Every structure is written in structure tokens, then in C-alpha cells.
Amino acid sequence: MLKILVDPNPKLRKKSKRVTKNELGSASFQDFIRQLSTTMQEADGIGIAAPQVGQNIRLIVINTDQGPQPMINPVVLWKSLTKELGEEGCLSVPGIFGLVKRAKIILLTYVDWAGKRHQIRAKGLFARVIQHEVDHLDGILFIDKAEKVISNKDLKP
């Protein structure tokens, strides 16, 4: 399992660089995708971004019904005007939760680990998780956007 960085680590605030075709095809990059996926699953996350483990590259992994789905160089092409307020947490901001307003539907393009380009329409929780993870690639944490932040310490047993 890779070490998950915790806020205020400065690597979480850096903008990530695109993954090149040469990097994509390398055995070390393919291995990193597997390690990142395993780290997300072992930490019981629904998504993770490479900057959360200290790699400032444009790679996210989303946990789906079919298993971990890596998305390389993801770009949100369109966001619905309809927004939804929902609770979010983050592996890099442990013990903190907040209400964040996000687009209900997005259109996303990305490359999979075989180098194939995809364009998908995501809605609901899937869209929320993608937006959260793409924010990580730009050095943005959910606490930057949250309307209300609650700590586990604030909750009464």
C-alpha cells in the first residue's frame, strides 16, 4: 500500500502534469496504477488521485461496480447547470466531512491504461467522485469548496 499524504502536505496543492504516451506504456506506470488502485481499496476509498500519494500526475482511480477504473488525463468537457449539495470526505483530510455543491451531470474524456480514449456521461455519486478527484489534480481539496465542514470530534457519541 502506498502512503497517503495528509493536508497540509504541499504536494496536495500542486497542479499535476499530463501523462505522456511514453509514460503510459511503461511497466512502472502500469504498476503504479495497480498500486494506486490497491491503496484506494485498502483505505476503503471510493476514489483516489495520484497527488494523494505524492505523484503530481493527472491520474485518478474511481471505485466502480466493475472494480477500480483508472482515468488518465481526465478532462471535464461539460458540467450541468443543475447542482447538488452533498457530503464529501477525503482520504487526505481524515476525520473531516463537508457539504459541497457539485454539478449533477458531467461529460468527461480520459484515457484508460491501454491508451484508449473514452468519453463518458456521469451523473449522481459517480459524477461527484470524478469532480472531487479531478480537483485533486489541480491542487484543490474539498474543504476549499465546502459550505459546511464538520470534524469527527464535533460529533457527539
Name the residues annotated as catalytic: 133
Q: Quote the CA–CA distance of 49 and 130 in Å, as a whole number.
A: 10
Task: Give the three-state DSSP class for 101.
Answer: strand
What the block records as the C-alpha cell of 91 is 482520504
Q: Quote the CA–CA distance of 94 and 76 in Å, as a whole number.
A: 26
Please state, in angstroms and as integers, the Cα–Cα distance from residue 48 to each residue in 60, 74, 148, following that order: 6, 13, 22
- Is the distance from CB of 107 to CB of 76 less than 8 angstroms? yes
Residues ≥6 apart with Cβ < 8 Å to 53: 2, 3, 4, 5, 36, 39
